[in-house]
Amino acid sequence: MTVMHQALPAYGFESAPYAHGEPLARADFKTRPEDFVVEEVLGFEPGGEGEHLFLLVQTDAHNTRHTQRCLARHFNVAKQAVSYSGMKDRRGLTSQWFSIHLPGKAIEPDADELAQQGFNVLRWQRHNKKLRIGTHKYNRFHIVLRNLSQIERLNSRLPELKNLGVPNYFGAQRFGHGGANIEEALQWVEQGKLPADRLLRSRVLSTLRGWLFNGVLADRVANGTWNQWQDQDLIQLNGTQSFFTEPQWDDQLQQRFLSDDIHLSAYLAGCDQAGTIPDQMLLLFNQARMEAEPRPLRLKAQQLRWNGDANALQIQFNLQKGAYATSVLRELVLLNDRSGQQEQI
């Protein structure tokens, strides 16, 4: 690893500091597909006519890109004709919207054929526009934690997380198994160029952005300022990319912050950040012409509620797009994978 690598924050996800202290409660996680259910909420209804067929598809064994390829084969179109709004993980029961560009073709999905491939088609409707990345409004999570120890610790922490939120870290999914995406991205940084392949290019840039952001946020968590205004902080309007700065913090801003109308934010790295990120990384963002944009430091789980006991505790909440449920769970409980080995996520 080069000197440049060593000078950068070494935070992916697992090693990042806790805001509320390391949890004492433990639980089994994802022992069954229905223990982790994600519902993508568009926030609007397809119009009923147009060149694009919208599908709401549920699966428990396929990630977004695999589903995209299968839908392209099913409708006999190029993969690029199948669009989606957000990325979903393979593990868990997920429902997600896709759009298929079918101009002049009155085609409907063969639900039985797709079911044989592991896809449950919940809804379909025509629309006049394709789905684009980030179109959906939020994701709804239904999570079951089983075989809990020290559940009283967890029950006392849930209200704290509901009121104060958690650090808005990029989850482990962003960085690949064992952080492999970070090493891959840094190899391209050393070469001083981006890969030609579009998907690999996107992964390199998103990995670097997530890694750098987690480093900034982790430092704020470590010194106790992740939810306290600092001079020159970005102040982001809730649910938008709009932001502003203020020379000082006052009672009115504090009330807006407490009511979740605004959030303290930091930049996702871009080409206009000379002097704040290493020059070799800046070179890649310049090649991509990718501008910096704000991301909140704080993540608030909306409509958070829970019920159950130590055998099975059910937790439900909504998260804005781009946020990770694992960032909420990480501050709440130490999780065991299916084999029973401890996994901190």
How many residues are given for the chain?
Answer: 345
- What's the fold here for domain 44-127? Pseudouridine synthase (3.30.2350)
Upper half-sphere CA count for residue 19 (Cβ side, 13 Å): 26
For 189-245, the pLDDT digits (tens) are 999 999 999 989 999 999 999 999 999 999 999 999 999 999 999 999 998 999 999
Q: Where are the domains of the chain?
A: 3-27+167-299, 44-127
* Mean of pLDDT values over 274-290: 93
pLDDT band at 134 (very low <50, low <70, confident <90, very high): confident
pTM given for the model = 0.89
Question: Cβ distance 54 to 97 under 8 Å?
Answer: yes
For 40-69, the pLDDT digits (tens) are 999 899 999 999 999 999 998 788 989 999
pLDDT band at 308 (very low <50, low <70, confident <90, very high): very high
Across the beta sheet with 262-268, the strand order is: 243-244, 234-237, 262-268, 293-296
* Mean of pLDDT values over 76-94: 88
* Mean of pLDDT values over 78-96: 88
Say yes or no to pLDDT of 338 above 70: no
User: 283 vs 2, 76, 193, CA distance in Å?
Assistant: 17, 39, 8
* Mean of pLDDT values over 281-310: 95
For 247-261, the pLDDT digits (tens) are 999 999 999 999 999
Positions annotated as catalytic residues are 89
User: 167 vs 173, 267, 274, 327, CA distance in Å?
Assistant: 16, 15, 26, 7
What confidence score (pLDDT) does residue 11 get? 57
What confidence score (pLDDT) does residue 254 get? 97
What confidence score (pLDDT) does residue 340 get? 40
What confidence score (pLDDT) does residue 6 get? 39
What confidence score (pLDDT) does residue 126 get? 95
Architecture per CATH, 3-27+167-299? 2-Layer Sandwich (3.30)
Say yes or no to pLDDT of 336 above 90: no
Quote the mean pLDDT of the chain.
90
Say yes or no to pLDDT of 127 above 60: yes
Q: Letter for the amino acid at 231?
A: D
